[in-house]
Structure 1
Amino acid sequence: MSERTTLQSNKKTGKLPWNERLSYGASDFACSFTFSLIGTYLMYFYTDVFGITASAVGTLMLVARIIDAIDGPFWGVMIDHTHTKWGKSRPYLLWFNAPFTIFTILCFMTPDLSMNWKIVWAYVTYIGIDVFYSAVNIPLTSILPSMTTDPDERVVLSTIRSLFSNFGGTLISVIALPLVTLFGGPNNPRRGFFLLAVMAAAVFFIIYLVVFANVREHVQTKQSQKPLPFKTSLKALKNNWPWLIVIGLNVIYWLGMQAKNQVTIYFFKYNLDKPELTSLALFFNAAGLISVFITPKLVMKFGKKRTLLFGLGTAVIGQLILGLGANSLNVPIVIIGTIVSNFGNGFVGALVAAMLADAVDYGEWKNGVRAEGIVTSASSFTAKFGMGMGGAITGILLSLGHYVPNKTQSASALFSIEANYVWVPMLAFVIAFIMLLFYRLTPEKEREMARFINKKHAEE
């Protein structure tokens, strides 16, 4: 099917061909495959392999969040100012593919430096990968409202994207440690992590070229044909309560998830004294694939809000079960809690992008301004901000617990690890649940906005 025919079909039905749907999903497989490696293992790499203290790592992640306060909105504004033959968001998938690939490798290099220079190296490479991740990931969310105005098709696209994302994150989490041993041997984790990063970076680079080739921006408006001034784009956020609630929820949710993910290896290595089970526990992230798969059917029946509330509530129950297992050092209960929690978390990943796309429509419906970049840039920015805060909290708690790498841990250190793995995430999920109770964008309102926007675009 030609691009012109596909575009005409999209305008009539809002549905996209499967090659475009799958390419869009593959984009987040690539992102999760690389960035989950960083989110899950980089703190452990810094403390137990590169030799940086936990407090220094926590400070680094906190400083990186200050940078995020600038770079996230920056990329959103840049997208709104971009006008090329490829569209507004799509060019960034090509332009920043190579820089992100390079910094993925640099993050896991271990040059022979003094402690101070090691910290400098970590700052430069970690902040670099953080900035370039925004450059390649924000466009994935900002392009969604430009691919279709059909709310149901957006849920389908978000579901496919989340399925691929969950699979990519689970896959790298499971195979990472075995590959580190394979590439570096049992006594050379530095070489192992470096070669693993090279492999992950190559996967990302190739997939993103395919994504750029297949994904298109079908929804064209007068505003999308020219750069959008910054002051004008900000009007899309005025009284945009759906947007405000979703980004707040995203910050809190990812704070909890990052605190949990990055201490998984610590928890199984030190608290349970079963490091060999780390990959198995991370494999059960795949439980989220089930929830992602059934998300569209639940949304059709109950709407996005109720489906997401169910997911967050399930995640809280899972963390409570996990807490019982952690307290009794009972591995089967820990695994059950992990599965239940991950099943609930799958709904969050499947729906946040779709809800932000709805917020783009809400900004146009409410304020007359369609600003995909500034509205959806909040997805990557708030996720990274939450992850950074989670990383900082982890570093602080490990430092307060007097964690010492590769040693038998004190009771206080073991509790600090447990707090990060169980209780910080549970509290975050509870807060996110409460915030979502105030979300008021119903399925009926979504359809009303879609009719209004389609009519407006047709008249234009």
Structure 2
Amino acid sequence: MEIKQPQEKLDKKFAFFHATSVSGTAMMIAAILASYLAVHLTDTVGLSPAAVSGLMFISTLWDAFNDPMMGVIADRTKTKWGRYRPYFLPAPVLLTIFAVLLWQHPTFSGNGNWWYFLIVYIGYQMTVTMYTMPQMSVLPAHVKSDALRNKVITYGAGATAIMFTIGSSYANSIKNFLGNLFGVENGWVPLMLILGALSCVSFWGLFATSKEKYIEPLPDRPLTEDLKRILKHKELTPFIIVWVMASLGYGLMFATSVYYVLYYLARPDLIETYMLVVSMGALVSMVVLLPIFLKFFKTGQRALTASVIGSSVCYIILFFFGSSNFIFLCVMTFIATALASMQNALVNVLVNDAIDYIQFTEGISANGVISSIKGFAQKMGNTFSNSLPLFLLGLVGYVAGAVGQQNEGTLFVLNFMRFAAPIITGLIMLFCLRFNPVEKHQEDIAAMKSMIRDHSDDNHDA
């Protein structure tokens, strides 16, 4: 017998600010960095591909290990505003500062520039961790219904797609416009300041509208106990691998697109056109196809499976025939991206599944720890998507700025990383999804959630 959960109404203000905080202009900053920062560091600042690869690897690896610490800290934060909400106040201010610093062109001697960007990039990523973990944690704390949670996730996915479309496709044009408007040579600075100011509005709005209703009162357990109790569940390992692979595949799509057009096609004049195609595909994926897939396939896991299979077929075609004709490349890239981009949003459903599973098996609310484990896995994927392409390019003799003069090894790596690597990550996800531990406990978990009461009156741990 199916147990129906109490009806909840969607809090529209909360849904809006949740969707436009991490996935708003903060996401546009992330999109710009993912698409253009590596090129800025190699072609403008003058760092070698190997140096940039090492910088990305070290900073993102530290960021991955920083996530579980943030999750544990968030779950034990004790303020009159709750556990997760206080972090929404300082995070966007720090985001603005580090985003501006990343687009400077310092002239330190020796390895000074490398150390400058390593420190600043670590600061940026730690700031992202500061707001991402609490933002993921506050959703299941504010909303109990799976359907409403998925709806809020869908809104966030749509905002992500829009921000990525603008950031990856039009960032250069906007940067040039603002540079001319304000009479400055480096248009990235006013762009980052504007995006940072808008992110303050979103995060502070989320602080004002969110409530931590469906979590247990602050426990007396030691800080590390929740992490130990969660990590003993080896059956959650497939979730972790899926989160890594989804992040890696999504990251490679944006990290390699500029390089692919610039050097594989040797058409720098077509970069914005191609990035627009990629971004529009992501927009259609998140805004149009994601809700359709969830409605048709009923569960996030089935929708993810269909997405992987469909996009992999397109990527195989693109790997062998993508460069034959630019119009064909754009059409197939649009279809592939429309099928693939939703994967990075669909895996967020597994975060709520894991939170419910741990509450069912252990009887504890560990939203922050679970979110931090997902964040750790996502950052591990980012570590490789940020560093692996440049590392491989450095091995095969890539020369920065040598449009139309790259060797065969460089061209193969670019084509492989752009179209073949996402096929591999997708197949690994499909294999891991066969071992989802939540499937066999769905009815029991639904029964447990129906008995969870609203703790909003006793959760202000002053």
Do these two structures clear the TM 0.5 threshold for a shared fold by scoring above it?
yes
Judged with a 3 Å threshold, the aligned counterparts in structure 2 of structure 1 residues 269 and 184 are, in CA distance, closer, same or farther, namely farther
1:4 aligned residue: none
Is the Cα–Cα contact under 8 Å of residues 358 and 446 in structure 1 kept in the other structure?
A: no
Instruction: Identify which of 74, 78, 100 aligns with 1:79.
Output: 74
Shift of 1:146: 0.4
Equivalences, count: 444
Letter in 2 for 1:253: A
1:190 Cα deviation after fit: 6.9
Deviates more, 1:67-76 or 1:281-290: 281-290
Residue 428 of structure 2, aligned match among 427, 431, 436: 431
SS at match of 1:112: coil
1:102-121 CA-partner distances (Å, limit 9, x unpaired): 11111111112224111011
Contact 2:51 2:114 in 1 (8 A): yes
- Give identity over the alignment, percent: 23
Q: Select 1:179's aligned residue among 160, 174, 185.
A: 174
* 1:391 counterpart residue number: 386
1:289 pairs with 2:283: yes
Residues 423-432 or 284-293, more deviating = 284-293
Deviation for aligned residue 1:203: 2.8
Instruction: Decide whether aligned partners of structure 1 residues 42 and 115 sit closer, same or farther in structure 2, where only a CA change above 3 A counts.
Output: farther
Contact kept? 1:29, 1:166, Cα under 8 Å: no
Q: Does 1:236 align with 2:233?
A: no
Return the match for 2:269 from 272, 276, 279.
276
- Higher mean alpha-carbon deviation, 227-236 vs 356-365, is at 227-236
Cα pair 1:37 1:176 within 8 Å, conserved: yes
- Tell me the CA shift for residue 64 of structure 1: 1.7
Q: Deviations over 1:378-430 (max 9, x none)?
A: 23222222111122211111102211111232222222222221222222222
C-alpha separation in 2, matches of 1:276 and 1:330: 15
Deviations 1:232-272, CA, capped at 9 Å, x for gaps = 3431343263x432221111222233233122112112221
Q: Does residue 1:90 correspond to 2:85, yes or no?
A: yes
The one-letter code of the counterpart of 1:254 is S
Cα distance, 1:333 vs structure 2? 2.3
Q: List structure 1 runs of 4+ shifted beyond 6 angstroms.
A: 225-228
Q: Which runs of 5+ in 1 are unaligned?
A: 1-10
Q: Where does residue 244 of structure 2 map in the other structure?
A: 251
Alignment partners' CA distance in 1, 2:34 and 2:220: 37
Structure 1 equivalent of residue 127 of structure 2: 132
Q: Is the 8 A contact 1:49 1:190 kept in 2?
A: no
d(CA) in 2 for partners of 1:260, 1:34? 17
Is residue 106 of structure 1 aligned with residue 101 of structure 2? yes
Structure 2: stretches of 5+ with no match in the other structure: none
**Structure number having the greater helix percentage:** 1
Root-mean-square deviation (CA, aligned residues, Å) is: 2.5
| Partners of 1:395 and 1:298 in 2: CA distance | 34
Deviations 1:348-397 (A, max 9, x none): 23322222012111001011122011111123222222111122211111
Alignment check: 8 A CA contact 1:36 1:173 kept: yes
- What code does the residue aligned with 1:330 have? N
Using the size of structure 1 for normalisation, the TM-score is 0.89
Q: Check whether the contact 2:144–2:214 (CA below 8 A) recurs between aligned residues.
A: yes
Query: Equivalences for 1:78-227 in 2 at 5 Å?
Result: 78-184=73-179, 191-222=186-217, 224=218
AA partner of residue 279 (structure 1)? E
Tell me by how many angstroms 1:456 deviates.
4.6
2: CA distance, partners of 1:155 / 1:230: 30
- Match in the other structure for 1:454: 450
- Superposed, 1:363-374 pairs within 5 Å as 363-374=358-369
Matched, 1:316 2:316: no
Matched, 1:358 2:353: yes
TM-score under structure 2 length normalisation? 0.89
